[in-house]
């Protein structure tokens, strides 16, 4: 019988959430040396230098913070901050993972959503204490979706920085523009400025490498052929689109990674354009977890670049949706090994 994601009901103990905050498998072996800057984009080479320098500072700060003063107390040294800003697919996550690999343990790496999920699961004080021992906290795809996140993240990062934890992030939005288009950012300008003061912004320009010299979204697979391909791929799952998005609504986003654990390929039938924002944002999280795990995606129905409505692509979450499309298209081009 064909396995389905909707039949999976994963449980992730809260105490494992910190332990699993590491770079995705595709970034296990990356380094500053393995980043290949585009010669047409000088900001990329400059960003590699800045990121490597930041990693050196992380090591120096962590070493200094561990030393005791003449009075037997550990020195209070503030952490450093780096904010890698740029478009999709220009290698920001590669650089962020390189910072992680170059920094001393303990250290943590996760998306912005995973960080807020961690705080929600552990509670603010518990999460703060667990992360305070870190040399660095690496946050991928930093973004503010609502006022609650603004206040929460501002307080958390400010306190961590004061305790000597260095913070590196990637984003598609400059610090001063966080939250723009999503809520009344002007009402939270003080908090946003406070966040911006923690970081040194570094721009990384360039075209999305996932789309360089690649064809447009592939044509959807015929429904009957989709089932055949799913059956022929060991470890693959086959789900109906509406049933899958309903199932996602029953799971906390922190469980989406466990949902696809061990899956070799994902097949989805009856894909269509979504107009509900909550559904769309869950698809974004699922796309991120699938991309992190390099799991091929094959669909029937609508093309993957039509999954979000035109209105959504012009709204406040535009960058999230475009990132999700970019990642889904990359996954749709992966080869699936038959039985």
Residues 50-78: tens digit of each pLDDT: 999 999 999 999 988 776 544 555 567 89
Sign of CA dihedral 258, 259, 263, 267: negative
| DSSP type of residue 222 | P
Which run of H or E residues covers position 288?
helix 277-292
Mean pLDDT of the chain: 85
Res. 196: pLDDT tops 70: no
Q: Over pLDDT 90: what percentage of the chain?
A: 55
Minimal CA–CA distance to 304: which of 323, 317, 319?
Answer: 323
Report residue 184's pLDDT band, with 50, 70 and 90 as the boundaries: very low
Structure tokens at 182: 């999503």
Q: Which domains does the chain have, with CATH numbers?
A: 5-11+210-332 (no CATH), 31-207 (3.40.50.300)
pLDDT digits (tens, 9 = 90+) for 146-175: 566 667 888 899 999 999 999 999 876 544
- pLDDT of the residue at 42: 94
Res. 280: pLDDT tops 50: yes
pLDDT digits (tens, 9 = 90+) for 201-243: 888 988 765 555 445 788 999 999 999 999 999 999 999 999 9
Report residue 195's pLDDT band, with 50, 70 and 90 as the boundaries: low
* Residues contacting residue 199 through CB under 8 Å, at least 6 positions apart: 81, 82, 83, 167, 169, 175
Q: Which three-class secondary structure state does DSSP give residue 195?
A: helix
Sign of CA dihedral 227, 231, 234, 237: positive
- pLDDT of the residue at 116: 84
pLDDT digits (tens, 9 = 90+) for 100-124: 999 999 999 998 888 887 888 788 9
- pLDDT of the residue at 205: 86
Structure tokens at 258: 């466990």
For the whole model, what pTM was predicted?
A: 0.74
pLDDT mean over 305-331: 88
């Amino acid at each position: 019988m064909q396995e389905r994601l909707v039949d999976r009901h994963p449980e992730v103990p809260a105490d494992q959430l910190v332990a699993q905050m590491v770079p995705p498998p595709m970034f296990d072996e990356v380094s500053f040396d393995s980043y290949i800057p585009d010669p047409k984009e000088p900001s990329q080479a400059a960003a590699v230098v800045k990121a490597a320098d930041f990693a050196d500072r992380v090591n120096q700060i962590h070493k200094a913070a561990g030393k005791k003063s003449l009075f037997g107390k550990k020195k209070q040294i503030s952490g450093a901050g780096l904010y890698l800003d740029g478009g999709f697919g220009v290698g920001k996550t590669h650089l962020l993972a390189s910072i992680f690999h170059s920094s001393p343990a303990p250290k943590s790496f996760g998306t912005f959503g995973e960080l807020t999920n961690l705080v929600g699961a552990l509670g603010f004080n518990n999460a703060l204490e667990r992360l305070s021992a870190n040399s660095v906290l690496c946050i991928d795809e930093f973004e503010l979706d609502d006022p609650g996140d603004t206040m929460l993240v501002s307080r958390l990062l400010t306190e961590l920085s004061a305790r000597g934890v260095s913070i590196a992030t990637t984003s598609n939005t400059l610090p001063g523009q966080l939250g723009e288009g999503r809520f009344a950012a002007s009402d939270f300008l003080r908090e946003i400025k406070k966040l911006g003061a923690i970081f040194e912004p570094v721009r990384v320009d360039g075209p999305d490498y996932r789309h360089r010299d690649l064809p447009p979204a592939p044509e959807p697979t015929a429904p009957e052929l989709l089932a055949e391909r799913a059956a022929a791929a060991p470890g693959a799952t086959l789900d109906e689109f509406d049933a899958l998005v309903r199932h996602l609504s029953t799971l906390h986003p922190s469980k989406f990674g466990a949902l696809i654990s061990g899956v070799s390929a994902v097949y989805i039938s009856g894909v269509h354009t979504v107009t509900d924002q909550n559904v769309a944002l869950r698809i974004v999280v699922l796309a991120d977890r699938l991309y992190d795990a390099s799991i091929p995606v094959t669909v029937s129905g609508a093309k993957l670049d039509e999954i979000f409505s035109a209105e959504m692509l012009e709204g406040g979450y535009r960058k999230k949706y475009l990132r999700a499309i970019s990642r889904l298209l990359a996954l749709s081009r992966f080869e699936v090994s038959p039985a």
